Each structure stands twice: as C-alpha cells, then as structure tokens.
Copies of this chain bind each other. A is one copy, B any other.
Amino acid sequence: MEILSSPGEMQSRVRQLRQSGKSVGVVPTMGALHEGHLSLIAAAQSDCDIVIATIFVNPTQFGPDEDFDNYPRTLNRDLELCQQTGAALVFTPAVDDMYSPDNNTVVAVAGLTQTFEGASRPTHFDGVTTIVAKLFNIALPDKAYFGQKDFQQQLVIRRMTQDLNFPVEIVTCPIFREADGLAMSSRNRYLNPTERQQALALNAALEECEQLASQENLSASELQERLNAALSAAEGVDLDYAAVVDAATLLPVNSSSKDSVAIVAAQVGNTRLIDNRILSSVGH
C-alpha cells in the first residue's frame, strides 16, 4: 500500500495507473475509520482494479462552533485498516496541501443544500462539495463511494457530479449499524455510556416508522408526525429535525415521488447524530 500526501504526486500516480488500463475507485473519508468506511473500501474493491482511500479532516465543512479541533484522528489505526481491507493507495494530505493561502474557489450546490443538514450547518455543504471536487480531480476515479448514513450529502454530491460533468459514478453504500442498531459514526465515540443508550432512540424511531409505513399504510405526513412524536418523547434526545420526504429531492412527498426517506438529526449530550431509512412507496 502506498501512502501519499501531495496532490500533484497523487495525480501523477493515478494517471499512470489509468494509462495502464486500471479502473480506479475512491473512498473519501475523514479518517477515524469504522466498519461503515471499510464496507465502502470493500465495495470499491469488488468493482475496481485500484482502490484509493482518502483521509482528510476537511476544515471547511465544519462550522465555527463545531468539532473540527476535537474530531477523532487515528491515522495509524486507519492505515492498518486500509491495508487490511485492500486499499492500494491512501491519500493523507495536510490542510496546507489542500488549501493554499490564496485559495479562493468554492463549488456550491443550491436547492438541496438549503434544508435539514444545510439549514442546521449553513456552510457545511459548500465545504463538502468543494473538497469532493478537489478529491475527484486529484484521485481521478471512475467511481466514488459514499455512505447512505449521510443521506443528504450523497444527494448533494450526486447533483454536483452531474452538474459539473465529472466523469465519476457515485455509489451509495448501505448504513452499517452496531449490533444494537446505532448507525456507525466516527462521532459515536464522543458518547458516554448513558448517551450511548439514549442514542438508540434514533434507530428505534426509524424502525417503527418503517413498520408503520409497510403495515399500516400511513401517509408521509402521518409518518412524519409519528416520527417526530417518538423522538420528541425520547429521553436525552434533543431533536433537530425528523422528516419523511421524497428521497430524490428532499421535498414533500407528492404523487410523482418514487422512494421516500425518513431522515433524523438530534443532539445527544454534546454529540450531533444523524440517521435515516429509505421507505418505498409511501403515499402523500
């Protein structure tokens, strides 16, 4: 496994590999890898000749009061895991490698980014789309792998990729959960034992929502009401949003909607958690 931190060297290395006919999959991460990330590497592994994992805690996607400074950094462990999972290349740039002092360009998606995570974290998605555009240009992949846990993020990245004609296929991989159902997240390690228990309410509410959708045939707005009620009543859970919306647009479900998605965000202690569940054929 090769480890590179220079964008230019990475670019040359990938061009060389592509020149020799290899297909390339990239898995962009902020490190602190868990099984969710490893499942992305494994998916890339089964689709592509060469897998590149990127590990970069991107400052521009954190708000001023968020956890950039404290975000878990576990590089040695991450590299071991990348090696074990079969990544051929790991890209681990420093902040200075990615942002020169006179850097002044932003890639911004409108629309999709105005609600939910975008409403709660106003500069977040500009940071995400800009860094992903940069990583696409550095790792020059055929395919890029993202987790469904960040549901809105993968939609925004799909929009950006299509709008800017990046020659990259976006693959969204299923949520990985702990044995008790908590969606895996690098931020779960912030939770103390009490909070860890309280955090189960998110998945429990989504599971109930899924059952109500399939068994009782409730409408999207009825489901959303029940989801909100369950999470508002959950102890230790400070709800940010809970919604059942069109899974392609994040707008209210309507007659032309295909899949819907139940998405939730909440603060448990000082930790912000998100989770979601795709629901097929919910009426409006």
Which A residues form the contact surface with B (CB < 8 A)?
7, 11, 15, 18-19, 21, 100, 102-112, 129-130, 133-134, 137-138, 140, 159-160, 162-167
Across-interface contacts of A107 in B (CB, < 8 A): 105-107, 133, 164
Minimum Cβ distance to chain B for residue A144 (Å): 14
Chain A interface main SS type = mixed
Across-interface contacts of A167 in B (CB, < 8 A): 11, 15, 137, 140
Minimum Cβ distance to chain B for residue A168 (Å): 9
**C-alpha gap A263/B241 in the complex (Å):** 52
Q: A15-B167, A167-B11 are in contact. Are A106 and B108 (CB under 8 A)?
A: yes
Minimum Cβ distance to chain B for residue A43 (Å): 23
Measured CB to CB, the nearest residue on chain B to A103 is: B163
Considering residues A18, A21, A102, A163, which has the most beta carbons from chain B within 10 angstroms of its beta carbon?
A163
Contact A106 B100 (CB under 8 A): no
Considering residues A100, A137, A140, which has the most beta carbons from chain B within 10 angstroms of its beta carbon?
A137
Contact B11 A105 (CB under 8 A): no
Across-interface contacts of A112 in B (CB, < 8 A): 104
Q: A137-B167, A165-B134, A165-B138 are in contact. Are A160 and B105 (CB under 8 A)?
A: yes
Minimum Cβ distance to chain B for residue A172 (Å): 18
Across-interface contacts of A7 in B (CB, < 8 A): 165
Considering residues A21, A105, A106, A159, which has the most beta carbons from chain B within 10 angstroms of its beta carbon?
A105
Minimum Cβ distance to chain B for residue A179 (Å): 39
Measured CB to CB, the nearest residue on chain B to A130 is: B164
Contact A108 B109 (CB under 8 A): no
Contact B11 A165 (CB under 8 A): yes
Across-interface contacts of A100 in B (CB, < 8 A): 162-163
Minimum Cβ distance to chain B for residue A29 (Å): 18
Across-interface contacts of A130 in B (CB, < 8 A): 164
Complex A-B: 19 CB contacts under 8 Å:
A7-B165, A11-B167, A18-B19, A102-B111, A103-B163, A104-B110, A104-B159, A105-B107, A105-B108, A105-B109, A105-B159, A105-B160, A105-B163, A106-B110, A107-B164, A108-B108, A130-B164, A133-B164, A137-B167
Minimum Cβ distance to chain B for residue A263 (Å): 19
Across-interface contacts of A21 in B (CB, < 8 A): 19
Across-interface contacts of A102 in B (CB, < 8 A): 111, 159
Minimum Cβ distance to chain B for residue A50 (Å): 15
Contact B137 A104 (CB under 8 A): no
Measured CB to CB, the nearest residue on chain B to A7 is: B165
**C-alpha gap A15/B167 in the complex (Å):** 10
**C-alpha gap A133/B129 in the complex (Å):** 14
